[in-house]
Amino acid sequence: MYIAFKLKRALAVLAIVGIAAAAVIIGAQYEDSFTTAADSQEGVRLPVIMYHGLLKDPKLQGKYVISPDLFEQDLQYLQANGYTAVGIEDLLKYVDGKDTLPEKPVLLTFDDGYYNNYHYAYPLAKQYKMKIVISPVGAYMDKAEEENDPHPTYSYITWKDMQEMAKSGFVEFQNHTYNLHASKGGRMGTKKVKGESQEDYEALLREDLGTMQKRMEEYLGQEPPCFTYPFGAVSEGEPAIIREMGFRCTLTCESRINVITKDPESLYDLGRYLRPPDLSSESFFQGILKE
């Protein structure tokens, strides 16, 4: 009964993510952009891939959950085709003129901080020496610490898990809010609700995102430079607040290729391609998918 309850809770969470995210990325298209080499004069073309959960049970797989085997095949395909997985810090070093980027970079991102990221994605990242970027929700991590019930199907990572992964050098963590990853009360993620004053809205954002920044600094020793919009939902005026808070990069849910230049502006509103569960790695990376 306990596991059944947990499974229902996990499926409910995934359903909420699916409904809200679908509202944002309906009509998104995957472009055949992965075979183009970087152009050092015009910028570096950067595909960003968006994953969420990895689970072995086919019954639990869907739009936002793929099998660990498929993720491993993605890593194998990327390596075989000369791609190098980079992190946000690599992008910042390039923009700041402190380092170069590989000819064919790719950014592999995971949203929400599911425990299966630690259980499945983390070992594969180490095995294939491919960096991944995880954007967890702080409140979920606190709850996972309290429950102390790690399970790939229904749990989230803990701060301790995060520290271990960060020390490996293959996992980066970015801000996905402390506790604004929901679609309730008229608010979707960090979007402003009807009738809310701009002053109250800005205070809410600064309090929540600032709390997550402090917690990340406490456990990782630094504040993350990138903010991942929950559900990809953005309110008018929100990007300016995000920038004022010191974030140098933002991740959206728009399916499009990015061109990273020496201009710091090129790191804002990065598009990401949602990884579906029913395409081979070759079809996904080379083909064009119309939802």
The answer to whether 116 and 190 are in contact (CB under 8 A) is: no
Residue 120's pLDDT is what?
98
Residue 151's pLDDT is what?
96
**Among 82-86, 267-271, 286-290, which stretch is predicted with the lowest mean pLDDT?**
286-290
**pLDDT range class, residue 287, cuts 50, 70, 90:** low
Distances (CA, A) of 254 to 9, 21, 27, 270, 287: 28, 10, 10, 8, 17
User: Going by C-beta distance under 8 Å and a sequence separation of 6 or more, which residues neighbour residue 179?
Assistant: 137, 138, 139, 208
The DSSP letter of residue 140 is H
Orientation of helix 159-168 relative to helix 138-147, angle to 10° = 110
DSSP letters along 46-62, please?
Answer: E-EEEE-EE-S-GGG-B
Question: pLDDT digits over 9-55, tens only?
Answer: 554 444 444 434 443 443 344 444 444 444 445 799 999 999 999 99
The arithmetic mean of pLDDT across residues 130-148, rounded, is: 96
Distances (CA, A) of 102 to 38, 119, 249: 8, 28, 19
The secondary structure of the chain in percent helix, strand, coil, rounded to multiples of 5, reads 45, 20, 40
Residues facing residue 156 across a β-bridge: 114
Per-residue burial over 40-52, b if 16 or more Cβ lie within 10 Å, else e, is eeebbbbbbbbbb
Q: What is the mean pLDDT of the chain?
A: 87
